[in-house]
Structure 1
Amino acid sequence: MNKILFNLMDSTMYLIRYGCLVHCTFEYVVDFVVCSGPSMEPAIHTDDILLTEHISPLKREINKGDIVIAKCPTDPNRQICKRVVGLPGDKIRTGFASFLVVPLGHVWLEGDNKNNSMDSRSHGPVPQGLIRSRAVCKVWPFRDISFFRKNE
C-alpha cells in the first residue's frame, strides 16, 4: 500500500512540475496563437496559427513592421493581431491631410487589409502595455510555414 501511495505522490509531483514548466513557457516565453478575421490578409488568414514570443514586448523591443498580438483596446477580453506602423514620437498620417504624433508609451497598429481592419485608425494609439507578444513565424497551414520579416 505504501508503494502505491508513494508512486501516486511521485507521479502527482511530476505532473505539477511539468504543468508549471509548460504554463511558464507559454505565459512568459513563447505561445501559439490562432488568428481570426481578415484584417491581416494577405499575410495572415483566418485559422492560421502563429508562433509568438513574449520577450520583445517585455523589454520594449518592438519595431516598425513587427506583427504583434495585443489586447484589444476596446475589449480587453479579445486579442488583436496587427502590424506596428508607428512608434513613440513618429508622425502618422491619419487622414487625407491630418497627422498625429504617437505619444510616449504607445504604438500605432494597423491591419495589412486596410479596408477591413479595426485598428489605430479607429481607436487611436495603443498603449505598449497591451502588447502581449510578437509573431515570429506562421506554423499552420503547413504549406505556408514562414518566418516574418520586418516591413513584410
Structure 2
Amino acid sequence: MGQWAGFGKGLLGEAFSFVKVFLFLQATNDHVGGFVLAKGPSMLPTISPSGELLLMERISVQLGKVRPGDIVVVQSPLVPKKRVAKRLIATEGERVTYVVDPKNSDSLNTIVVPKGHVWVEGDNIHNSYDSRNFGAIPYGLLIGRVFWRVLPFKDFGSMEPHEK
C-alpha cells in the first residue's frame, strides 16, 4: 500500500506542475501575447494565403500604442469567434480616403474615424473584407499587434510596419 501511495503522490505532483504551466501559458497568451496562424488572401503580398505563423503582442493595444502601418489581429465585427489580421490604417480623429469599388479607382469616399474606433484594411484591395466594407471598428475589437514572422523559416524575422 505504501508503494502505491508514493506513486499517487508523485502523479498528483506531476499533474499539479502541469496545471501550473498551463495556467502560466494561458495567462501569458491572454495578457502578453502568443502565436497566431494567419492565412487567406486579404493580406497579400505581406502574408501568404497558404498560412504563416506569426507572433503577436497585446501590450501595445492595452496601452493604446498601436499606430497606422501596424498589422493587427482583430476580432471580426461580423463573426465574433473569428480573428483576422489586417493593417491598421487610421485611428480616431484621422481622415481616411478609400476606394469604395476596387474595379473603379475613381470611386473614392472620405471619412473621419469616430472616437473610440480604428480603420483596418487588408493589403490586398481586390480580396479583403475590411473597414471598406463594414466601416470603422471599435478599438475594443483589437486583440494584438503582429511583430514577428516565425514560419515559413525563409521569411523568419521582424514585420516592421509600413504606411500603406
Q: TM-score, normalised by structure 1?
A: 0.94
1:51 aligned onto 2:62: no
1:98 aligned onto 2:109: yes
Q: Distance in 2 between matches of 1:51 and 1:98?
A: 34
Aligned counterpart in structure 1 of residue 160 of structure 2, from 127, 137, 149 = 149
Aligned counterpart in structure 2 of residue 80 of structure 1, from 57, 78, 84 = 84
Q: Deviations over 1:47-87 (max 9, x none)?
A: 11111011111111110100000011111111111001111
Amino acid at match of 1:9: L
Cα drift, residue 97 of structure 1: 4.7
Q: Distance in 2 between matches of 1:72 and 1:149?
A: 23
Q: Distance in 1 between matches of 2:109 and 2:52?
A: 35
Q: TM-score, normalised by structure 2?
A: 0.88
Moved more, 22-31 or 79-88: 22-31
Amino acid at match of 1:17: K
SS at 1:115 equivalent? coil
Q: Which runs of 4+ in 1 moved over 4 A?
A: none
1:38 aligned onto 2:49: no
SS at 1:92 equivalent? strand
Larger radius of gyration: 2
Cα drift, residue 146 of structure 1: 2.2
Q: Deviations over 1:28-60 (max 9, x none)?
A: 112111112111011101211111011111111
SS at 2:55 equivalent? strand
Identity of aligned residues (%): 34
Aligned partner of 1:22 in structure 2 is 25
SS at 1:94 equivalent? strand
Aligned counterpart in structure 2 of residue 6 of structure 1, from 5, 9, 17 = 9
Aligned partner of 1:128 in structure 2 is 139
Aligned length: 152
Cα drift, residue 98 of structure 1: 2.9
Moved more, 92-101 or 38-47: 92-101
Runs of 5+ unmatched residues, structure 1: none
SS at 2:27 equivalent? helix
Structure having the higher strand fraction is 2
Say what the alpha-carbon RMSD is for the aligned residues: 1.3
Aligned partner of 2:127 in structure 1 is 116
Runs of 5+ unmatched residues, structure 2: 100-106
